[in-house]
Amino acid sequence: MLLFLLMVSLGCASNPKPKYSEAELESLNTAVTQKSFEIDARWARPMPDPALTSIANAGLVPQGSTINRINITGTSSYLKVKNDSVMADLPYYGERQMGGTYNPIKGGVHFKGLAKDFSMEPTKKDSGVAVKFSVNEGPENYQVHIQLYPSGTSNISVVSSHRTPIWYDGTWTPDRLE
């Protein structure tokens, strides 16, 4: 009976925090300290709405994707940080909230410039790092929030002055920039 109670109590214990190697932690700290990393976006996570539902119902969502998680692997979708410069080329799925010109070549989230209000701080729940900045591209302003984890995974949140918010999941690497 004692053995059974011990097994039940251990089985009900919360999951321990992931353990990262010293090399993974050092790589993350170096990339963040030097402000030199690149994120390869693999999944787009738009806000589902009736328009996206119509697209999914028409069978226009890539195989293995849903309206709230779209596979963008192989599309060369990236976000780069190098010192004070930031650049991104990410596909966009969602609704434009304000009028503006439509550019069929650059219909996604595209920016290249100097980051404003750049900040970095450790995340409260794990060993990751939260990076925040804003950047303007023409009349549009982007508020970008990035979470980098020692395991090499990342999350990006993009809030635009002209569009509904969108999130991306991917992997990051240090020092891949020219």
Q: What is the 3-state secondary structure (H, E, C) of the chain?
A: CHHHHHHHHHHCCCCCCCCCCHHHHHHHHHHHHCCEEEEEEEEEEECCCHHHHHHHHCCCCCCCCECCEEECCCCCCEEEEECCEEEEEECCCCCECCCCCCCCCCCCEEEEEECEEEEEEECCCCCCEEEEEEEEECCEEEEEEEEECCCCEEEEEEEECCECCEEEEEEEEECCCC
State percent of the chain over pLDDT 90. Answer: 49
Domain count for the chain, please give it.
1
| Residue 112 counted as domain residue | yes
| Residue 105 counted as domain residue | yes
| Residue 4 counted as domain residue | no
CATH number of the domain within which 134 lies: 2.40.128.410
State percent of the chain over pLDDT 70. Answer: 83
| Residue 5 counted as domain residue | no
**121 lies in which domain range?**
22-174
pTM above 0.85, yes or no: no
| Residue 145 counted as domain residue | yes
Over the stretch 84-109, which tens digit does the pLDDT of each residue have? 999 999 999 888 776 655 555 667 89
| Residue 14 counted as domain residue | no
